[in-house]
């Protein structure tokens, strides 16, 4: 079972927690509750490849900043402003570079994985 399949119960959670059991389609015209939940679990902007970014991120046990680099680079042509997502990826990459630079300077040496 992949991460997306494991998250299927989110539809009921969303319905009960945030919509108090009401029809979730009130906020999303012309969509069923299942379609709204599917958009939360597996949005269109992540469906462009053979593997979803979350599955890759989880299988490689990436940290939050590492995962965000993968996420933003994976979706930049399919959601919002491509340049904005690339800038977000660069910001997370800059933080990773800064973190790694500090670790090496503190005597941690080069990491090889």
Residues 107 and 68 in one domain: yes
Cα–Cα distance, 31 to 29 (Å, whole number): 6
96 closest CA partner among 54, 63, 60, 61: 63
Q: Are residues 4 and 35 in the same domain?
A: yes
Task: Locate 98 and state its tokens.
Answer: 């800064």
On whether both 19 and 1 belong to a single domain, the answer is yes
67 shares its domain with 29: no
Domain shared by 103 and 64, yes or no: yes
Residues 98, 63 share a domain: yes
If one counts the domains in the chain, the total is: 2
Query: Do 107 and 60 share a structural domain?
Result: yes
Tally of CB atoms within 10 A around 80: 10
Parent domain of 104: 51-113
CA–CA separation, 37 vs 13, rounded Å?
Answer: 10
Structure tokens at 46: 């992540």
Is 79 within 8 Å of 85 (Cβ atoms)?
yes
Tokens encoding 81: 């402003």
Residues 105 and 68 in one domain: yes
In this structure, the answer to whether residues 13 and 33 fall within a common structural domain is yes
The reply to whether 21 and 56 lie within a common domain is no
Q: pLDDT digit string (tens) for 21-48? A: 555 555 555 666 566 555 555 656 556 6
What confidence tens digit (pLDDT) does each residue in 49-106 have? 677 888 888 899 999 999 999 989 988 888 878 899 999 999 999 999 999 999 999 9
Q: At what angle do helices 82-103 and 64-75 cross, to 10 degrees?
A: 150
Whole-prediction pTM: 0.58
């Amino acid at each position: 079972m992949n991460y997306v399949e494991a998250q299927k119960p989110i539809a009921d959670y969303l319905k009960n927690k945030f919509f108090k059991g009401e029809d979730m389609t009130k906020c999303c015209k012309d969509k069923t509750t299942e379609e709204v939940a599917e958009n939360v679990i597996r949005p269109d902007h992540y469906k462009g490849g053979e593997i979803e970014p979350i599955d890759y991120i989880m299988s490689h046990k990436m940290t939050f900043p590492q995962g965000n680099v993968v996420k933003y680079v994976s979706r930049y042509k399919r959601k919002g402003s491509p340049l904005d997502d690339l800038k977000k990826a660069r910001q997370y990459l800059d933080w990773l570079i800064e973190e790694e630079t500090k670790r090496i300077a503190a005597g941690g040496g080069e990491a090889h994985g």
